[in-house]
Amino acid sequence: MSEPGYRLLNCGDRALTVELGKTVDPAVNAQVIALDEAIRGAGRPGLLETVPTYRSLLVVYDPELLPRVELAALIAAHWPPPEAKTGAGRRWRIPVNYGGEHGADLASLAAGVGLSPEEVVALHAGRDYRVYMIGFAPGFAYLGGLDPRIQASRRTDPRPKTPAGSVSIGGNQTGVSPPLELPSGWQLIGRTPARSYDPARAEPFLFTAGDLIRFDPIGRAEFDALSEAARAGETVATLERIDG
């Protein structure tokens, strides 16, 4: 089914995907997030869950309480969504220990793009990244905005396990892993003590789609100290409010 500005795609009989575009684009992602907020804010019984992604919104519903035709009407009533901004109101400063034991692929990635490891770190830590979506594992943040000079293909031999809190590069994306060991084919360049997911927190997920992230390089001693603080329940990431 097609509508002005979006497409509705059935995902079984209990979910709809609202597809807003075909490309990875901040403006499209801003519309996804704004539509997500508008639909959830309607408070309709039978609306079970919404999951924003790069360019679409998954809406899970109970068809006995919210028939598909009514859900489609609800989506249409909130299109176009208000205040679809490409900026963000929150920026997280995330400490990262780059290279060495925590960034096994940094040297080879740097050699592959014709830069030194120090230059790769400076470029990676020198800009803000947009959180396009959370997925794959609880708290895994997919980030857009990677400098083209340090984009690198995924590994030909994926690792069955990567360290908790890994910071990695895969193609034109960079990502932050939760405090879990995960399989990955992305290039490991560093590790953060910050926990993007902690079920013991009042709000288990640190980041949300639309947030900005900026990485702050730290040494190994500071990484170890912040890791201890994170295990004790401290956030060890700094939240900044910004205009967007």
- pLDDT recorded at residue 35: 95
Neighbours of 143 (CB within 10 A): 22
Cα gap 85→65, rounded to integer Å:
32
Both tokens assigned to 205: 């997920």
- Residue 242: is its pLDDT beyond 90? no
- pLDDT recorded at residue 84: 56
Residue 60 lies in a domain: yes
Looking at the chain, the whole-number percentage of residues with pLDDT higher than 70 is: 95
How does pLDDT run across 86-122, given as a tens digit for each residue?
555 899 999 999 999 999 999 999 999 999 999 999 9
Least confident piece of the model among 1-10, 29-38, 80-89, 194-203 = 80-89
How does pLDDT run across 37-55, given as a tens digit for each residue?
999 999 999 999 999 999 9
Within this chain, do residues 33 and 126 fall inside the same structural domain, yes or no?
Answer: no
CB 202 within 8 A of CB 55: no
How does pLDDT run across 48-78, given as a tens digit for each residue?
999 999 999 999 999 999 999 999 999 999 9
Residue 83 lies in a domain: no
User: How many domains does the chain contain in total?
Assistant: 2
CATH number at residue 171: 2.40.100.10
Neighbours of 199 (CB within 10 A): 8
Residue 65 lies in a domain: yes
Within this chain, do residues 73 and 108 fall inside the same structural domain, yes or no?
Answer: no
What confidence tier does 83 reach under pLDDT thresholds 50, 70, 90? low
- Average pLDDT of the segment spanning 176-198: 97
DSSP state of 223: H
Within this chain, do residues 56 and 171 fall inside the same structural domain, yes or no?
Answer: no
What are the residues whose beta carbons fall under 8 Å from the beta carbon of 229, sequence distance 6 or more? 193, 236
Cα gap 231→228, rounded to integer Å:
5
Looking at the chain, the whole-number percentage of residues with pLDDT higher than 90 is: 89
Within this chain, do residues 105 and 174 fall inside the same structural domain, yes or no?
Answer: yes
Within this chain, do residues 105 and 180 fall inside the same structural domain, yes or no?
Answer: yes
Within this chain, do residues 73 and 94 fall inside the same structural domain, yes or no?
Answer: no
- Residue 81: is its pLDDT beyond 90? no
- By C-alpha distance, which of 166, 167, 178, 195 is closest to 134? 178
- pLDDT recorded at residue 86: 53
CATH number at residue 10: 3.30.1360.40
Within this chain, do residues 27 and 124 fall inside the same structural domain, yes or no?
Answer: no
Within this chain, do residues 31 and 110 fall inside the same structural domain, yes or no?
Answer: no
What confidence tier does 243 reach under pLDDT thresholds 50, 70, 90? low
Which domain covers residue 49, as residue numbers? 2-77
Q: Of 77, 100, 130, which closes a domain? A: 77
What confidence tier does 194 reach under pLDDT thresholds 50, 70, 90? very high
Within this chain, do residues 21 and 95 fall inside the same structural domain, yes or no?
Answer: no
Within this chain, do residues 108 and 40 fall inside the same structural domain, yes or no?
Answer: no
